[in-house]
Structure 1
Amino acid sequence: MEDLSDITLVNLLKEDDDRAAFNVLYSRYWKVIYQIGFKKLGDEDLAEDLVHDLFVDIWVKRAELDIHTTFVGYLHGMLTHRLIDVHRKNIFRQKVHEEIRSSQTVQDETYDSLVYSDLEQHLMAEVNNLPSSMRQIFLLSRQEELSPKEIADKLSLSVQTVKNQISSAVKRLRTKGLDD
């Protein structure tokens, strides 16, 4: 089988699911394709994985193989497409890492706004579950920024009652994982 042409081996592979034909093609070309991949990537493991995946795809899609060039040309084309994909993924990964780094050093207002909005929704859902008088006192304290004395005067309550209600509300929210 070693002396058969690539086209003959590909036809055997396509028509008969011939594992021996696949093995011959693999042994002929894996090293050449690996070396090209390694030269482009500079990473032995990644190049090896890329070549392995490339040959796995050939085996899986063997019945649909449609080669218009030489087999090695076909492999090179597949490798080129995979290298482009790796390059795109690396660029995307770099952009994500840069965004993460920049958001860690410089506050990203959009991200903060989304996080704040989500947290506020969760907080308000929990605040709405508070007893009505406790909720009213808590909202006057946090949203209108009234002091306990101002709230007490407004609702005709003692300052201590207002403080107790605020403290109880904060404790309940903390048990839910939310702080004021």
Structure 2
Amino acid sequence: MKSFLDDSLLADNIKKNDEKAFHILFDRYYKKLVDYAFTFTGNLQEAEDIVQQTFITLWTTRKKIDSKKSIKSYLYRITHNSYIDTYRKQKHKESFFDEIKERALRDRINDHDEIIEQRILKLKIVIDALPDKCKEILQMNKFQGLKYKEIADQLDISVKTVESHMNTAFKKIRKAFKGDDLFLFLLYKFMR
């Protein structure tokens, strides 16, 4: 019971912006949460990333902590939700590229699979080379499936700013595939 009271006191202090309390809680639960996340991911690096996101979420939402409830349970719930979010994003990202490949094949591009794979790889490289905010917004829209308004709300920016970043991304993608009209056409159909 004493451990819960200690956790409760830590939760109260974290809510009051006490970084030392946060570090104590981090040290107390980090390894346990990584082990927990590992049961879902089967990958230590992914599990560690998820738990780091858990603690980022805890700190950024610290004002909402209910110190009358178990902070341990709250951490496990955040970890589980972070895993679900990560899993969904990864699946959505994979399906994004798979769908482009499938459309290319379905629309009878007369290229070999290897050429299509090269185009997909080139697209990934172009996306990775986008400016950070531009890439983040494109990924939120195309990989996570968020609408412009949802992105604007999450990033605390205007819808016009989201549109501007998306236009920049599309211009850079079009430029990278200039001369490859059929693939550009497929991308355009898919990305609008």
**TM-score, scaled relative to structure 1:** 0.53
Q: Which whole-Å CA distance do the structure 1 matches of 2:32 and 2:19 have between them?
A: 20
Which structure would you say has the larger Rg?
Answer: 1
Match of 1:40 in 2: 40
Match of 2:18 in 1: 18
Matched to 2:80, the amino acid is: T
Does structure 2 conserve the Cα–Cα contact (< 8 Å) formed by 1:67 and 1:74?
Answer: no
Does structure 2 conserve the Cα–Cα contact (< 8 Å) formed by 1:30 and 1:51?
Answer: yes
Match of 1:144 in 2: none
Q: Which whole-Å CA distance do the structure 1 matches of 2:21 and 2:95 have between them?
A: 43
**Unpaired runs of at least 5, structure 2:** 110-178, 182-192
Runs of 4+ in 1 over 2 A off after TM superposition: 66-69, 103-106
Counterpart secondary structure, 1:5 = helix
**Unpaired runs of at least 5, structure 1:** 110-176
Match of 1:89 in 2: 89
Root mean square deviation, CA, Å: 2.8
Q: Which whole-Å CA distance do the structure 2 matches of 1:178 and 1:99 have between them?
A: 18
Q: Which whole-Å CA distance do the structure 2 matches of 1:68 and 1:107 have between them?
A: 59
- Which of structures 1 and 2 has the larger relative contact order (alpha carbons within 8 angstroms, sep 6+)? 2
Structure 1 residue 178: Cα displacement? 10
Q: Deviations over 1:105-127 (max 9, x none)?
A: 22179xxxxxxxxxxxxxxxxxx
Q: Which whole-Å CA distance do the structure 2 matches of 1:178 and 1:96 have between them?
A: 20
Q: Which whole-Å CA distance do the structure 1 matches of 2:70 and 2:98 have between them?
A: 42
Structure 1 residue 98: Cα displacement? 2.1
Q: Which range moved further: 6-15 or 62-71?
A: 62-71
Does structure 2 conserve the Cα–Cα contact (< 8 Å) formed by 1:6 and 1:25?
Answer: yes
The percent of aligned pairs where both chains have the same amino acid is 28
